[in-house]
Amino acid sequence: MATTNLSVERALIILRHLSRTDQGMGIRELSRELGISPAGVQKIMNALHIQGFVAQNEQDKRYTLGPDVLRIGLAMLSRLEVRRVAHPFLASLAEATGETAFLGIRDSDDVFYIDKVLPDVDIRMDATLGLTRPYNCTAVGKMILAHLPADDMKRLVAADRLVQATANSITDPVQLTDELEIIRQRGYALDREEFKPGIYCVAAPIHDHNSQLVAAITVAGPAGRIQANLDPIIEQVLTKSQEISTQLGYNIT
């Protein structure tokens, strides 16, 4: 069995915790999460800070991810073929719909956005790249989950990962299973104010040359504006997802 360095493992766990919040975390909060003393956490944070992997807010003393994490992340993203191929289509989608276009991929039991293009309008939806999102209450999440094996759904249920983000979130496994079947049949997914009140999203899948789902694109914006133009937005999202898939070698037949 492989062994690990405990300090390194704890440092990586801390970085993962920080990646899931845009508010930052304090020493005592991290201490509770890791189950180790504040002094032990502080020692790890000092090392991470020196190396540029975390930054500290001078006012509230909370830590966030530092610039070197971004550099590593961007280096990884630059090697993701789907991001390179999809970006111009995201730009076209944002221009055509007047709404924000995102590219999302799977991250274990969550999904996260790896690229976005904002429209040139005053009121628009935005989100920080790299933050994780739940499967069950986002359009991208439901689209990806619809293409995963049934065991993945069972694991999410067992791990209590069906998140009640708003009153509209689907947390009942039977209802969610029915929703995923509808998504597979029609080819797109909707977020009907399920993750954030007032935000509506439309997502479609991206497949590679092996016919495997590798990502999903989504358009997100104010609920009233999206609903007023829902049919043409769905058509645009489906068209762009197919064009990206074709560029990745997917044979749409």
- What is the C-alpha to C-alpha distance for residues 35 and 203, in angstroms, rounded to an integer? 39
Question: What's the pLDDT score for residue 75?
Answer: 63
Structure token digits, residue 216: 């999903």
- Give backbone dihedrals phi and psi of 231, rounded to 5 degrees, phi first: -60, -50
Nearest alpha-carbon partner for 218 in 41, 58, 100: 100
Question: What's the pLDDT score for residue 4?
Answer: 58
- Residue ranges of domains in the chain, CATH in brackets: 6-71 (1.10.10.10), 80-247 (3.30.450.40)
Structure token digits, residue 190: 């909707």
- Give backbone dihedrals phi and psi of 80, rounded to 5 degrees, phi first: -85, 110
What three-state secondary structure class fits 172? coil
Contacts 24+ apart (CB under 8 A), 123-128: 123/222, 124/99, 124/100, 124/221, 125/99, 125/100, 125/199, 125/220, 125/221, 125/222, 126/100, 127/102, 127/220, 128/22
Enter the pTM of the model. Answer: 0.71
Pairing mode, if any, of strands 132-133 and 189-192? unpaired
DSSP assignment string, 79-131: T-HHHHHHHHHHHHHHHHHSSEEEEEEEETTEEEEEEEE--SSSS-----TT-
Question: Mean pLDDT in the chain?
Answer: 89
Question: What's the pLDDT score for residue 159?
Answer: 82
Question: What's the pLDDT score for residue 127?
Answer: 80
Check: CB of residue 113 under 8 Å from CB of residue 7.
no
Question: What's the pLDDT score for residue 1?
Answer: 42
Q: How many CA atoms lie within 13 A of 158 on its CB side?
A: 6
Check: CB of residue 110 under 8 Å from CB of residue 155.
no
- What is the C-alpha to C-alpha distance for residues 173 and 113, in angstroms, rounded to an integer? 25
- Within 10 angstroms of residue 197's Cβ, the number of other Cβ atoms is 11
Extract the residue ranges of the chain whose pLDDT is less than 70: 1-4, 74-79, 252-253
* 121-177 pLDDT per residue, tens: 887 788 878 778 899 999 999 999 999 888 888 888 888 888 999 999 999 999 999
- Within 10 angstroms of residue 168's Cβ, the number of other Cβ atoms is 14
* 156-168 pLDDT per residue, tens: 888 888 899 999 9
